[in-house]
Amino acid sequence: MKLATLRTAGGRTTAALATGNDSYLALPASDVGALLAQPAWRSMVEEAAASKEQTVIDAAAAELAPLLPRAGKVICCGLNYGDHIQEMGRDLPEYPTLFAKYADTLVGANDAVEVHGSGRVDWEAELAVVVGSELFRADEDLAREAIAGYTVVNDVSMRDWQNRTLQWFQGKAWDGTTPVGPVMVTADEAGEHFDVRGYVNGELVQQGNTSTLVFGPAHLLSYISQFTTLRPGDLVLTGTPGGVGMGMTPPRFLKDGDVLTTEIDGIGRLENQFRIHAPVAVPA
Amino acid sequence: MKLATLRTAGGRTTAALATGNDSYLALPASDVGALLAQPAWRSMVEEAAASKEQTVIDAAAAELAPLLPRAGKVICCGLNYGDHIQEMGRDLPEYPTLFAKYADTLVGANDAVEVHGSGRVDWEAELAVVVGSELFRADEDLAREAIAGYTVVNDVSMRDWQNRTLQWFQGKAWDGTTPVGPVMVTADEAGEHFDVRGYVNGELVQQGNTSTLVFGPAHLLSYISQFTTLRPGDLVLTGTPGGVGMGMTPPRFLKDGDVLTTEIDGIGRLENQFRIHAPVAVPA
């Protein structure tokens, strides 16, 4: 099944099931994260699909909210595709490079992205894993079973801020700049490997297949769970393939008005227009 | 005023006011973060203090919970004391080095700390700033007004994991390993500068004064708010002075049973015993 979080009246959201007939079925949870927090979420979805009192939302009218607007943890793996690692001039890693951001970074699949104060806005198309059950110090088998599904993310990065210091956080944790969605495909319906692509104004700039990940989804979840608890609705980003703007000669970054498209076959497509405002004076 | 979060019956917590008479007064909020989320929190505290129906908790019987058990953001500044920067062999920075962790890392002021899977557990005594009102793209004056108060934190770090990759997160974000408390002293009652000290089994190992911070509290809050929203109950750690174990010759780390004490004059003292379990097999 494919699950989404849709905006409804009054600034609210609802979890929804994509029916496959250009419509969504509203589910009794405010968002996909709140749905996954219910241990019986699968039967809740099945009941809603079988119910005679359905709230059907036309896909054309549906507005996609961030899939997991209140994710407790958004943990990212960097340097995880062989080709991207070489592009950045680094060796293949022994351990996953991990950094954190907060749910405030997330925006919907078709939302405009507003950036104030960075002139080096770069793209990172990624497969993201949605956690479906609590994990702490779990082995890889348990971690694999805890994967609720997969979604598409663009880990948009402000390279000027990212490179100010050794730690990437301040270039990665900008509110409302990380598109996520349009849906989560449940693990049972998703393939094993995914083609990940990024486009700027329709031009293909990134392409990779998750079969070339150094650390796969179950390994990442198990590894992270050795030190911190993962819970339903948490998001783990698996890293980006080659083709980011800062790796180009000369480096290339998003301009005001550019449209960034992020696509994974079998999951869906994010399409986000960027509003890059003139940098403001910030404390140095 | 001095505010704490205390454990009560049934695994619950309550915000509480330290009366100065070896007792606490229970406040109508589950923890200090929930209290600060009420815009009128000051008058709520004053009303509780003036009320004739007080719930008084004897300090000797009080059990300190993490001050901000559900902090939305715990953002840390590294390399912020001149002497610690030199100890780590680095130059004085132009920008604050920032990294994130989650509220799951926090433990109470006198809680035991359990560590599974690290053999290089190090200390970082720190002053932490508690955010009192929402900040986004705020200047330093606004940021200063948004400081609710100050507390004591030890940013305990697993140096083996921290040094596995370029990003420190996996050495910093271990559940239940970051002592915080015992109280938050409100900004109006706190001095401008603080003496920060760390002890291992009673031996002084770290000492610094926040007057030597490269980036002070208001600057840090303003800087962070340029890219992400800070909210009441968020915690910003200001970095640690010289004297960490990995800077010693030879390097020194916590052993099973060691007691780590973290102290700031005018705020209080954390005293945490460490249980360092034999490293387990973890995915490499």
Calculate mean pLDDT across residues A9-29. Answer: 94
The reply to whether residue A175 touches residue B97, judged by beta carbons under 8 angstroms, is: no
DSSP B169-208: HHHH--TT-EEEEEEEEETTTS-SS-EEEEEETTEEEEEE
Residue B173 predicted with pLDDT over 80: yes
- Which uninterrupted H or E stretch holds A46? helix A41-50
Local confidence band at B222 (pLDDT 50, 70, 90 cut-offs): very high
Which 3 state secondary structure label does DSSP give B115?
strand
Q: What percent of chain B has pLDDT over 70?
A: 97
Q: Does A218 touch chain B (CB under 8 A)?
A: no
Q: Which amino acid belongs to residue A136?
A: F
What integer best gives the mean pLDDT of chain B?
95
Residue A284 predicted with pLDDT over 50: no
The reply to whether residue A95 touches residue B164, judged by beta carbons under 8 angstroms, is: yes
Local confidence band at B186 (pLDDT 50, 70, 90 cut-offs): very high
What integer best gives the mean pLDDT of chain A?
95
More confident residue, B79 or B206: B206
Residue A82 predicted with pLDDT over 90: no
Which tokens belong to B179? 């002592």
pLDDT value of position A86: 72
Calculate mean pLDDT across residues A111-140. Answer: 97
CATH 3.90.850.10 fits B74-277, yes or no: yes
Residue B8 predicted with pLDDT over 60: yes
The reply to whether residue B100 touches residue A284, judged by beta carbons under 8 angstroms, is: no
The reply to whether residue A99 touches residue B169, judged by beta carbons under 8 angstroms, is: yes
Residue A146 predicted with pLDDT over 70: yes
Q: Does A158 touch chain B (CB under 8 A)?
A: yes
pLDDT value of position A20: 87
Q: Does A222 touch chain B (CB under 8 A)?
A: yes
Local confidence band at A279 (pLDDT 50, 70, 90 cut-offs): low
Q: Which residues of B touch A223 (CB under 8 A)?
A: 282-283
Local confidence band at B279 (pLDDT 50, 70, 90 cut-offs): low
Q: What percent of chain A has pLDDT over 70?
A: 97
Q: Is A211 exposed, middle or buried (0-12, 13-18, 19+ CB in 10 A)?
A: exposed
CB B245 within 8 A of CB B260: no
Q: Note which residues in 83-122 of chain B have CB less than 8 A from chain A.
A: 93-102, 104-105, 116-117
Calculate mean pLDDT across residues A266-284. Answer: 81
CB A98 within 8 A of CB B167: yes
Q: Which residues of B touch A94 (CB under 8 A)?
A: 164, 284
Q: Which residues of A touch B144 (CB under 8 A)?
A: none
Residue B87 predicted with pLDDT over 80: no
pLDDT value of position A282: 47
Give CA separation, B74 vs A172, B105, B106, in Å: 15, 9, 9
Which tokens belong to A62? 């549906």
User: What are the residue ranges spanned by the domains of chain B?
Assistant: 2-64, 74-277
- List all residues 6 or more positions away from A58 whose beta carbon is below 8 Å from its beta carbon: A22, A23
Q: Considering only alpha carbons, which residue of chain A is nearest residue B279?
A: A226
Tell me how far apart the alpha carbons of residues B206 and B195 are, in angstroms, rounded to a whole number: 10
Calculate mean pLDDT across residues B184-201. Answer: 96
Closest-CA distance of chain B to residue A102, Å: 8
Residue B284 predicted with pLDDT over 50: no
pLDDT value of position B224: 98
Calculate mean pLDDT across residues A265-279. Answer: 93
The reply to whether residue A165 touches residue B219, judged by beta carbons under 8 angstroms, is: no
Local confidence band at B161 (pLDDT 50, 70, 90 cut-offs): very high
Residue A168 predicted with pLDDT over 70: yes
Which tokens belong to B52? 């004739």
- Biggest distance spanned by C-alpha atoms of chain A: 60
Calculate mean pLDDT across residues B240-267. Answer: 96
Which tokens belong to B9? 């019956």
Which 3 state secondary structure label does DSSP give A239?
coil
pLDDT value of position B9: 85
- In this structure, how many other beta carbons lie within 10 angstroms of the beta carbon of residue A131? 29
Which backbone phi and psi does A171 adopt, to 5 degrees? -100, -5
Calculate mean pLDDT across residues A77-97. Answer: 85
Residue in B161, B166, B219 nearest the CB of A227:
B161
Q: How far is CA B194 from the centre of its chain?
A: 14
Which 3 state secondary structure label does DSSP give B54?
coil
Instruction: Give the tens place of pLDDT for each residue, B15-29.
Output: 999 998 899 999 999
More confident residue, B87 or A262: A262
As for the ipTM of the complex, it is: 0.96
Residue B41 predicted with pLDDT over 80: yes
Instruction: Give the tens place of pLDDT for each residue, A208-264.
Output: 999 999 999 999 999 999 999 999 999 999 999 999 999 999 999 999 999 999 999
The reply to whether residue A169 touches residue B282, judged by beta carbons under 8 angstroms, is: no
With CA atoms as reference, report the closest residue to B60 among B12, B23, B104: B23
Local confidence band at B57 (pLDDT 50, 70, 90 cut-offs): very high
Which tokens belong to A84? 């991207």
Instruction: Give the tens place of pLDDT for each residue, B94-136.
Output: 999 999 999 999 999 999 999 999 999 999 999 999 999 999 9
